[in-house]
Amino acid sequence: MEEVDQYQQEGGSQALNRGIAAVKEDAVEMLASYGLAYSLMKFFTGPMSDFKNVGLVFVNSKRDRTKAVLCMVVAGAIAAVFHTLIAYSDLGYYIINKLHHVDESVGSKTRRAFLYLAAFPFMDAMAWTHAGILLKHKYSFLVGCASISDVIAQVVFVAILLHSHLECREPLLIPILSLYMGALVRCTTLCLGYYRNIHDIIPDRSGPELGGDATIRKMLSFWWPLALILATQRISRPIVNLFVSRDLGGSSAATEAVAILTATYPVGHMPYGWLTEIRAVYPAFDKNNPSNKLASTSNTVTAAHIKKFTFVCMALSLTLCFVMFWTPNVSEKILIDIIGVDFAFAELCVVPLRIFSFFPVPVTVRAHLTGWLMTLKKTFVLAPSSVLRIIVLITSLVVLPYLGVHGATLGVGSLLAGFVGESTMVAIAACYVYRKQKKKMENESATEGEDSAMTDMPPTEEVTDIVEMREGNE
């Protein structure tokens, strides 16, 4: 059920995009402005969402939870400061107007939208922290319900606000206020779920049997490689928007290409985005997880079960992708009915959406191996994969235009190349850790064997007595 959270993000994005597309005047320009602001905002909130895994692995007591929440409060405040700086300073003008080669109208709308989104990272961080704690105690159904409630709240408020004066006065506030209301519903649901089901049953402090209290340093050491990976994933979309826009010279075609990317991201991500959450399966069923120690041994989930589950999920995702994006007129109908674009615009989105069909394989490999490494608390080996992802992404964005690939197709194709590069590096890191673990186990087995042999041998004095007794009998 935890995979529902990915559908929440994509379903909510579609509802918000429809809120903009329903504004007939300058709909493409508004969609491009909101898309740029939303993708930049996701860069700041992305690393915070991985604190869910800190809650999943480290939070065993009320004291641990307080430390995790404190980290997220500080992170949310820092993100709000950056939002304000980008909205009002020359740095924001350079990042949005100059780097993206957008005109003054799109740039000003983007910076204004980015300012409106300043408080969102804090709300999102609180929700993710408590989601991880709930997942640790097997309340995945509640996490899924919170995510579905988020989508429903966004859809309802988009419908309500479209009939208000905001459509004429400030259309950008329609998706942004709806986004806030959805986040408020999700955060409230998760916090209430924590206090109702978990707060009273966990100890004030972690005892020795739980490894003692987790320190902020341990939490941050575990979190930063995951945060770096997610930050590079989030910044990938602004980088793609930047290169696609600059490739087309900031013309009307560039604005159209960014609008196409904004519309296709949530639709293309929907059939495979939930695969990322497979990484939570390994830690949730880890035998060292305190909530698993009382579980019945007959119902133990093994590594073989997790591998089979992962393969089935990947096969299901691939099937969904090819049915949705390769069946004639299906993808166009999705865009027209859900996003609310016209048929001519929907036709321009077909090729980018078909490229999304190949994303499930690298995403599944990365998620499965990352979950295993999280269980071992060996997340530091994942850091190089984020660097390689950016290198491959930028290289593709630079090289592909010389091969005649432009616009949204250039953006999505480069994203696929980045995913493949990242997954390859994660696989190499996992192999490295596996070999070290295997060597360590072999050494421990050899040491135990030697200790056992020494224990089985009779003491020297006993051997001497036996020899003397035999000599006496003779």
Q: Name residue, tokens 């479209």.
A: 162
User: What is the Cα Rg of the chain in Å?
Assistant: 26
Structural contact between residues 178 and 15, judged by C-beta atoms closer than 8 angstroms? yes
Query: Residues 25-30: contacts with CB within 8 Å, 24+ apart?
Result: 28/255, 28/256, 28/259, 28/345, 29/105, 29/106, 29/109, 29/255, 30/109, 30/171, 30/172
pLDDT at residue 8, as a whole number: 45
Distances in whole angstroms, Cα of residue 408 to Cα of each of 217, 246, 350: 41, 12, 10
Mean pLDDT, all residues of the chain: 81
Distances in whole angstroms, Cα of residue 383 to Cα of each of 51, 129, 222, 236: 16, 22, 11, 16
Q: Name residue, tokens 């909101």.
A: 34
459 burial via Cβ count (<10 Å: 0-12, 13-18, 19+): exposed
Q: What is the C-alpha separation between 118 and 109, in angstroms, rounded?
A: 15
Q: What is the C-alpha separation between 228 and 50, in angstroms, rounded?
A: 10
What angle do the packed helices 120-136 and 27-49 form, to 10 degrees? 50
pLDDT at residue 340, as a whole number: 76
Number of Cβ within a 10 Å radius of residue 364: 22
Distances in whole angstroms, Cα of residue 193 to Cα of each of 123, 131, 132, 143, 198: 16, 9, 12, 9, 8
Give 102-156 pLDDT, tens digit per residue: 777 778 888 888 888 888 888 888 888 899 899 888 888 899 899 889 888 888 8
Asked if pLDDT for residue 97 goes beyond 50, the answer is yes
Reported as a pLDDT band with limits 50, 70 and 90, residue 367 is very high
Average pLDDT over residues 34-61: 77
Pick the closest to residue 142 from 188, 180, 189 (CA basis): 189
Ramachandran angles phi, psi of 217, nearest 5°: -60, -45
Residue 76, C-beta contacts closer than 8 angstroms, at least 6 positions apart: 48, 121, 122, 123, 125, 126
Q: What percent of the chain has pLDDT over 90?
A: 24
Question: E strand or H helix at 38, and its extent?
Answer: helix 27-49
Bigger pLDDT: 258 vs 42? 258
Structural contact between residues 171 and 161, judged by C-beta atoms closer than 8 angstroms? no
Q: What is the C-alpha separation between 11 and 220, in angstroms, rounded?
A: 31
Bigger pLDDT: 164 vs 465? 164
Asked if pLDDT for residue 16 goes beyond 60, the answer is no
Reported as a pLDDT band with limits 50, 70 and 90, residue 400 is very high
Give the best-scoring range by mean pLDDT among 23-27, 30-34, 249-253: 249-253
Give 283-309 pLDDT, tens digit per residue: 877 665 555 554 444 567 788 889 999
Question: E strand or H helix at 308, and its extent?
Answer: helix 303-326
Q: What is the C-alpha separation between 270 and 247, in angstroms, rounded?
A: 27
Residue 140 identity (one-letter amino acid): S
Give 401-428 pLDDT, tens digit per residue: 999 899 999 999 999 999 999 999 999 9
pLDDT at residue 415, as a whole number: 94
Q: What is the DSSP string of 214-264?
A: PPHHHHHHHHHHHHHHHHHHHHHHHHHHHHHHHHTTTSHHHHHHHHHHHHH
pTM (2 decimals)?
0.71
Tokens of 278: 């497979």
